[in-house]
Amino acid sequence: MKMYLSSSFFSSENIAILQDSFIPLLKGVLSYTIPLTLISFVIGLFIAVVTAVFRISGIKILAGIARVYVSIIRGTPLLVQLFIVFFGLGNLGVDFLKFEPFTGAIIAFSLNTGAYASEIIRASILSIEKGQWEASSSIGMSYFQSLKRVILPQATRVSIPPLSNSFIGLVKETSLASTILVSEMFRKAQEIVATTYTPLLVYVEAAAIYWVICFILSLIQDRIETRLNRYVKT
Amino acid sequence: MISTQKISKQFGDLVVLKDIDLEVEKGKVVVVIGPSGSGKTTLLRCLNLLEQPESGLISIDQQSIDFGKKLSKKEIRSFRKKSGMVFQTYNLFPHFTALQNVMEGPVTVQKVNKTEAKKRAVELLTKVGLKEKIDVFPYQLSGGQQQRVGIARAMAIDPKVMLFDEPTSALDPELVGEVLLVMKDLAKEGRTMVVVTHEMKFAKEVADEVIFMDEGKIIERGEPVDLFERPKEERTKKFLNLINQ
């Protein structure tokens, strides 16, 4: 039985399917999965910093806007957000809101990342001791100078592990973009399965590729952490 | 150089400063002593506007701030330049080297060019005896060395007065001396200084005037010899007895 399974799994036919599907899958990774992740994360991070600063600004209306945004995004499924942005807004009949699948995916993923990451950044900023704000004020810095020169650089160090989590999570969540017609890796895998009828084989192959990407990312995370820890006693 | 008129400060119901009048002449060293909770640290922090009194007037080097009206951020920042603050817990920027810590104020706030700022920062660090340590991060320094960087950082903005908030209280006993030595040098140079401290020996040697505070008020003030040897007020006597035990 065991012999039969393994020999059938690694039959020459299956190996040929794996080989044939690898290039299309890789294309999906390079032209959609990775760009989608990178662009959404960068935009999301920008939104996150602004949202976090709104929350801690002490200005009621800004803090309120930030709260509502985070609450809506965290309170609804990402898949639903994707559908609203792509199918929902697309159906309004307003040209401006009709997005290409890729654009729609970027909007949804950026907004989603922005909300979650804002909480990480807010917590990281609050983790920096009050004395740092006082020291920077005492040498004459403005609020934004303190933030930029003193607080955010230190908060970055604190936020790297949880932000890496978000980033790695985002790599995998881009597979949801398959549902709004983005030809990222998982959609490619589905298309291949539709012709080969080998779901286990091709989906495991796709899973393996996701894992390799995430593994490389965690190596990069280690390097960044080492670099940022250079000024901390270990 | 420094003068305060009737400054008062409350945290909720708790009155921490009550009608404080303080005068510090140019080049003088004033040491503020008192039990914990007496308001001495708050008074010092008010001079740097880290705390804002509810009422009263502070002037440093001919610039006055009236707490009766609302202050703009610009006003606050411009007033802060008058004083350099040294903190009990140093509060160095951990992600900057000693040199970068000292350069930060001049470069970021005062827009001094980097070469110039660096030259001055090296001078200041040399002055506090840390010429060899300019390129190390704070965590690689002892507490005493960190506090000396803190002093250099505060001096780098060229303040008219130096404020010290219990600068040696967080230090191991063997490291207190090196910080006090730097402070004595500054006093000798004729710096105007206000020092909140528990170092009575330092107060006796260096202070031109000692102020004893309790419950948000100045109870007694005078030359160190008088205040330490012949205190007039009962509360001063009690406090001095307690710390001399």
Mean pLDDT of B125-150: 95
Amino acid at A150: V
Cα B101 to Cα B82: distance, rounded to the nearest angstrom: 19
HSE (side-chain half, CA atoms, 13 Å) at B87: 20
Q: Sheet of B63-66: strands edge to edge?
A: B14-24, B2-11, B55-60, B63-66
On chain B, the residues whose CB falls within 8 A of the CB of A137 are 50, 80
Place of tokens 């010290």: B164
Residue A6's pLDDT is 54
Cα angle A131, A133, A134; round to 5 = 60
Q: Which two tokens stand for residue B155?
A: 């001096």
What average pLDDT does the structure give for chain B? 93
Residue A123's pLDDT is 96
Cα A213 to Cα A215: distance, rounded to the nearest angstrom: 5
Residue A1's pLDDT is 45
pLDDT band at B69 (very low <50, low <70, confident <90, very high): confident
Q: Which two tokens stand for residue B35?
A: 């039990």
The candidate with the shortest Cα–Cα distance to B214, out of B22, B33, B11, is B33
pLDDT above 90 as % of chain B: 83
Instruction: Identify which of A131, A140, A153 has the shortest CB distance to residue B109.
Output: A140
Query: Nearest-CA distance from A163 to chain B in Å?
Result: 20
What pTM was estimated for this model as a whole? 0.87
Residues 122-141 of B with CB under 8 A from A: 137-139
Using the predicted structure, report yes or no on whether residue B189 has a pLDDT greater than 50: yes
pLDDT band at B244 (very low <50, low <70, confident <90, very high): confident
pLDDT tens string, chain A, 234 residues long: the values are 444 555 577 788 888 888 899 999 999 999 999 999 999 999 999 999 999 999 998 899 999 999 999 999 999 999 999 999 999 999 988 888 999 999 999 999 999 999 999 999 999 999 999 999 999 999 999 999 999 999 999 999 999 999 999 999 999 999 999 999 999 999 999 999 999 999 999 999 999 999 999 999 999 999 999 999 999 887
Residue A5's pLDDT is 53
Are A230 and B156 a contacting pair at CB < 8 A? no
What number of H helices and E strands is found in chain A? 12, 0
- A151 — contact with chain B (CB < 8 Å)? no
On chain A, the residues whose CB falls within 8 A of the CB of B120 are none
pLDDT above 70 as % of chain B: 100
Q: Report CA-CA distances (Å) from B35 to A46, B223, B227, B236.
A: 48, 19, 15, 10
Q: Which two tokens stand for residue B228?
A: 């330490």
Mean pLDDT of B202-226: 93
Are A131 and B87 a contacting pair at CB < 8 A? yes
